[in-house]
Structure 1
């Protein structure tokens, strides 16, 4: 390199060192800026040209200095992926913990007087009444204690409803916040895209975008990819794509961000059987029952362009008039595919306008008129009408489908028939419709804070009736569990105060001649319900002492016989006391039983030793709308085979006035289905058969003929959620909640620790370290000084060459 070339080397060194100092200063000034990524000056050694073909073997070639290729960020994409994956788990566990914390504030009798204490108080008041039978003040104390228990149950149910509303509001806010994050990322993508086009790296904007992506990863599991968007002419810019990961397949699913396009997030709207959106009385959308997340079509920021659910287009680009073009009628054949892919061809006649002369102006005018005629003819065609809309353009025509996405028809070809009008069609282009991208995220397919919050709002556990995942226990599970406790308590207390141990009613003379008990009746009803004919299912939210008990019309029945003698004067009070000590089976079907609930027997089995014509009795057990159990006995005779015996039983059931008056029965060949005839209103329970057993002529249970256990369908599970006494049921709710919270907290701690560790690793790569930046300051300051010294040395050398050489002897 010539001596003057070294000045360039020195100059470039000074520029590089100065720029490196600027980058270091930028890093230091942003050391406390959230989300800032450490920047680095990218450099490479500069060389102007290679060696010549006949270069000297004794010469040496040196570079021409340093060049700057740009400023980049120090980030590890793998650490970003790991961090965002862990953050979706942290968000998921955190959302569940938030909901469980609120539930624990309601379902928790530790260190306070609550439902458990009041159950014990009522039991104590009944024991006091047991010692003072007939004394009205003690009966009043029992009623007051029972009313206090009802109020506590009402309050707990209302508090749980408040928890539900709080979590629902949080869910809607989270969905809105996640949607706002997508909007901000889209806006940053537009700015970064413009910067890339103009040659600016926009590193600070990328930092903001990365922070938003980190925030988004808490709401859902995401897949983030970067690709190149071709802008044409060999120029491309970076494009960011974000997709939601399907938790079932662990693969990218619905697209949230695609460059400058984004989707909207919202809670899915409920639709009716016809698929139409459901609105309330005010015309507002009704949310989906499962509150699933809806991901909309991809669109630009102005909502003017959609990447999905688009119309199909067919473009005619030009219409040429030959030298001998004649006006007149012309036929055109349009070939299209309907939404099912079937091909159709339609022939349409239109008028070709004859040019007034051969001048370009006259031909252009004729072309414009002809295209208008063609568009008008296509729009009036009976077959194409409703499928496409034709529009004439400046030099062609476009046919746009009426429907969008998968429902759109598509024109595939346009040809002129053999008419002698002298016109020819220009190039054509068919653009297919893009199917809809709207996605409803089904249960279990999402993951993160949004899905976990949704599960807290919809997880009914064993009380679920739609066939979904019964392992998810959210707020509805604890609401229904409390309802089951209140219902079992009221049902059993009412049963004992209205019926004798043998099942006969206190309002009738007993089987052993016991007297009618006129003051017998229901102690508890749903608030406002008729105590004599209750039809509303009792829940924690509506349980109340009956109006008849309040007025004194109904009292606690102390004696079963009605004519008590010493030793039996308080036997019925003892039955009421036993309600608190008896072990019950709590079932979801006790409180959730809709009109489609049915019972189907098992298949019949018969002992070969059973003689045809043997008298048998079927014991049909069913529960009514108030969960009172009844048993109906129906006699029938055995047949030669199990199938014949079943037919005999079916005929006998059809003739029995009680069973046939309550249930519709269907003979399925090998089973019998029982379905309540009445259509119960919402908030009530239907009659439901729970079992069928058989006895012989002597009244002894027999296995000579049986029909299995049977199965309940169309209702919540008939399986047990808890078996124990009333107080134990509430303690079980506390235990289930406590175990759920403990497990979730452990999971949260594990994920949070992992996320913190990964974030620390990210900071070690991307964060600003003052020690390193201080060393860089010294390094670049020294290199700048050295470049300056090189410039000075070269200047001195050139001064000597120019001004000091060749002047000796003058």
Structure 2
């Protein structure tokens, strides 16, 4: 015989068991038709081969198999579609992250349906036009100042919005994106460990594999990854494949995101705020990675920390970092994307050009002194001698205000004295006018004057109480000697020279309409403000620079009006350190036009960037959707297919049962109705 008499029952039993298991798996598929990420399962069946054949067994052509064997329950997945899906979702992540920030920038700069900065520029032009018709009018000067303040308010608001957008983007990176990535990596490592342990006990852990695939798909949206599978033998004849996840860098370098004996170790990412040469945060960030390694979990692996900012080529992290770190053509050298920095820098350049233009037009050319109402003449103190009083000649500074300035000159008794730092013969400037005058008095030489015909020696001093710079005779006056206003003269019997106080020609009163709030020399949208002198009315808009022009002259105001509509070159000034470590400044020109056109260019540029990125995003989403549909066609549960499987496996189960019944009937004939000859 080719095999045992009862072997057919084994075949029928195995067939029934295989059909039953297939029905169970079909039921599992139907039950999870709405489960996100569930992968369709199937029973793996193989035909049982003959075993134990030898030379004396039946003719090989008559050998029959022993039925069917259930080897495993597996998932139906296409690895190529997994790779395609993860590559595409990374592209979606890049464009989506960029679009989120571009939408915020659109809210800041778009003035299509609202009145803001461009309207303020128009209102400023109108107010200047009215001032032109009413030159030197403090009322209309105040109106122009009010219009400028409105403009400043819009500038400061947009600057605050830009800073808020940058801070929110960094905060999202720190508090949402990076923690999510680290959580996904941790979950993948834990799932690798759990799946390995489960498969060690004979459980295929398909549902945990589904969860791991979901985590991998989600991770691919943040960073570009590749997944390969490494085989580990866990027992005799049993093997376990675990995923080796790597980050694919733009520079061709890969970084391990999982490691260990069965993928239980995982990488971690962090974000760092960059700082400029002064130690202040500059608004850009760096992404750091501690790659997965085979070191035990308790080992200190901080030395493996690597900056991967420039290695990111796709994903949400890439899109976010681009918006934070890149300024397009306003970078030096130019970068490949216009992020938040482009709009910050171009807006600063707009503000910078505006402030410089108006300050240059309102420049004053008349020198001024640091002390006002200084006395020009002195006088002899009237008195009658009593044997103790001394003759005095004084300059009264009680009405004077302010303080002397560096390089200013004061002439006392025909001799010039220059204020300065106290070196090279200059008079040391004090922190107040009184201190400066004390220093002056100390520097004045002993002087002899003619007092009532007698030459008397004397010295100078400054009295803070009486606020007088006074010459006093060394010797006292004779009893009953009378001093009148004409009693003290020079030794040549001439009147004492008047005190002459001269302004330094370089001391031109600053008529700048705009100042920086932080004292720097470079205007930005954050530090520009109206000059305090303009705000308190001590300066005004200069109507004309011609000192001989009449009170109605307005050519300078006309120039201001014209400057708003004149085309000009807008430049962005920046600082950098050269190869020798020396600080340098550079300039990048980015637009030619008037102020309103420059701002419109920023509006349009944002619109173009947003429109282009939206088109790219929609294209990537379309491809991703198609890839997802292809994945679902392979791995998803179809009610039609499962319905067919139900009928197929039910009928195969019935047929196997019928086989067992038929074999039972055949054996009944063999056992009960054969071997009784002649019966």
TM-score, normalising length: structure 2: 0.74
Change in 2 beyond 3 A, CA 1:464/1:569: same
Q: What aligned pairs does 1:440-589 form with structure 2 within 5 A after superposition?
A: 440-443=307-310, 445-464=312-331, 467=333, 469-498=334-363, 505-507=365-367, 521-527=511-517, 535-565=520-550, 569-589=553-573
Against the structure 1 CA distance between its residues 746 and 301, is the aligned structure 2 distance closer, same or farther, given a 3 Å change threshold? farther
Residue number in structure 2 paired with 1:82: 84
Contact 1:45 1:63 survives alignment (8 Å)? yes
| Larger RCO, structure (CA 8 Å, separation 6 or more) | 2
Aligned to 1:64: 66
Cα drift, residue 739 of structure 1: 1.0
Task: Give the CA deviation at 1:55.
Answer: 4.5
CA distance in 2, matches of 1:272, 1:487: 21
Cα gap change, 1:180 to 1:57, in 2 (>3 Å): closer
| Residue in structure 2 matched with residue 726 of structure 1 by the alignment | 595
Q: Deviations over 1:1-36 (max 9, x none)?
A: 333110000000010000000000000000000000
Q: Which residue of 2 aligns with 1:408?
A: none
1:800 counterpart = 2:664: no
1:625-774 equivalences in 2 (<5 Å): 714-716=584-586, 718-774=587-643
Question: What is the aligned partner in structure 2 of residue 372 from structure 1?
Answer: none
Q: CA deviation at 1:539?
A: 1.3
How far apart in 2 are the matches of 1:573 and 1:148?
Answer: 19
For the Cα contact (< 8 Å) 1:75–1:765, is it kept in 2?
Answer: yes
Deviation at 1:159, TM superposition (A): 0.9
**Inter-CA distance 222–19: structure 2 relative to 1 (3 Å threshold):** same
Match in the other structure for 1:145: 147
Q: CA RMSD in A?
A: 3.0
Distance 1:271 1:498, change over 3 A: closer
Instruction: Give the CA deviation at 1:305.
Output: 4.8
Name the structure 2 match of 1:209: 212
| CA–CA distance in structure 2, aligned partners of residues 731 and 59 of structure 1 | 88
Q: CA deviation at 1:196?
A: 2.2
**Cα 1:271–1:735 shift into 2, 3 Å:** closer
Asked if 2 retains the 8 angstrom alpha-carbon contact of 1:256 and 1:295, the reply is no
| Secondary structure in 1 matching 2:675 | coil
Q: 1:800 Cα deviation (Å)? A: 2.5
Deviation at 1:171, TM superposition (A): 1.4
**CA displacement at 1:437 relative to structure 2:** 4.0
Cα separation, 1, equivalents of 2:132 and 2:275: 57
Deviations along 1:567-608, whole A, 9 cap, x unmatched?
Answer: x8001101111220222222221xx336x579xxxxxxxxxx
CA shift for structure 1 position 438: 2.9
Match in the other structure for 2:292: 298
CA contact (8 A) 1:497 1:520 kept: no
Shift of 1:237: 2.0
Identify the residue that residue 255 of structure 2 maps to in structure 1: 254
Larger radius of gyration: 2
Give the distance between the partners of 1:195 and 1:189, measured in 2 at CA. 10
1:516 Cα offset (Å): 12
Secondary structure, aligned partner of 2:565: coil
Which whole-Å deviations, capped at 9, do the CAs of 1:496-530 have from their partners, x for residues lacking one? 1015xxxxx3548xxxxxx9999860111123x6x
- Write the distance in 1 (CA, Å) between the matches of 2:323 and 2:73: 47
CA distance in 1, matches of 2:597, 2:198: 67
Partners of 1:149 and 1:507 lie apart in 2 by 31
| Contact 1:507–1:520, Cα closer than 8 Å, also in 2 | no
How many residue pairs match? The answer is 537
Shift of 1:776: 0.3
How far off its partner does 1:287 sit? 8.2
**CA positional deviation for 1:537:** 2.5
2:274–2:286 contact (8 Å) kept in structure 1: no
Residue 265 (structure 1) aligned with residue 265 (structure 2): no
TM-superposition CA deviations, 1:611-642 (whole Å, max 9, x none): xxxxxxxxxxxxxxxxxxxxxxxxxxxxxxxx
CA shift in 2, pair 1:525/1:240, >3 Å: same
Q: Map Cα deviations across residues 634-675 of structure 1 (whole Å, 9 max, x no partner).
A: xxxxxxxxxxxxxxxxxxxxxxxxxxxxxxxxxxxxxxx9x8
- Note the C-alpha offset of 1:213: 0.6
CA distance in 1, matches of 2:168, 2:60: 85
Q: Would the aligned equivalents of 2:515 and 2:531 in 1 still touch at CA under 8 Å?
A: yes
Among residues 218, 223, 226, which one is paired with 2:229 in the alignment?
A: 226
Q: Which moved more, 1:794-803 or 1:254-263?
A: 794-803
CA distance change for structure 1 residues 72 and 295 in 2, over 3 Å: closer, same or farther? same
Q: Are the structure 2 counterparts of residues 164 and 733 from structure 1 closer, same or farther at C-alpha, using a change threshold of 3 Å?
A: same
In 1, Cα distance between equivalents of 2:21 and 2:240: 25
Q: 1:102 to 1:59 in 2, by over 3 A?
A: closer
- 1:148, 1:25 → 2: CA distance? 70
Contact 2:226 2:246 in 1 (8 A): yes
CA displacement at 1:731 relative to structure 2: 0.8
Stretches of structure 2 that go unaligned for 5 or more consecutive residues are 369-504
Structure 1 residue 593 corresponds to structure 2 residue 575: yes
- Tell me the CA shift for residue 799 of structure 1: 2.1
Distance 1:804 1:288 in 2: 100
Shift of 1:543: 1.6
2:110 pairs, out of 108, 121, 131, with 108
Closer, same or farther: CA 183–301 of 1 in aligned 2, 3 Å: farther
What CA deviation, in whole Å up to 9, does each residue of 1:148-172 have, x standing for no partner? 0001100110011111111112212
Single out whichever of 290-299 and 114-123 deviates more from structure 2: 290-299
Change (3 A) 1:538 1:558: same
CA distance, structure 2, for counterparts of residue 788 and residue 265 of structure 1: 59
Q: Give 1:234 shift.
A: 7.0
The residue aligned with 2:185 is 182
Deviation per CA, 1:56-96: give whole Å up to 9, x if none.
Answer: 55972211100011011111000111111111111000100
CA distance in 1, matches of 2:356, 2:229: 63
Return the match for 1:31 from 33, 51, 54.
33
C-alpha distance in 1, partners of 2:157/2:631? 49
The alpha-carbon distance between structure 1 residues 785 and 74, as it changes in their structure 2 partners (threshold 3 A), is: same
Q: 1:288 to 1:22 in 2, by over 3 A?
A: farther
Aligned to 1:328: none
**Hey, what does 1:664 align to over in structure 2?**
none
TM-score (norm 1): 0.62
Counterpart in 2 of 1:53?
55
Which whole-Å CA distance do the structure 2 matches of 1:235 and 1:288 have between them?
Answer: 56
Structure 1 alignment gaps of length 5 or more: 281-285, 310-435, 500-504, 509-514, 599-672, 676-712
Q: CA distance change for structure 1 residues 230 and 272 in 2, over 3 Å: closer, same or farther?
A: farther
> Contact between 1:267 and 1:288, CA under 8 Å: does it hold in 2?
no
SS of the residue 1:225 aligns to: strand
CA–CA separation in structure 1 for the residues paired with 2:60 and 2:238: 44
Q: Distance in 2 between matches of 1:145 and 1:256?
A: 58
**C-alpha separation between the residues in 2 aligned to 1:231 and 1:169?**
44
Distance 2:299 2:12 in 1: 53
Specify the SS of the correspondent of 1:244.
strand
Moved more, 19-28 or 252-261: 252-261
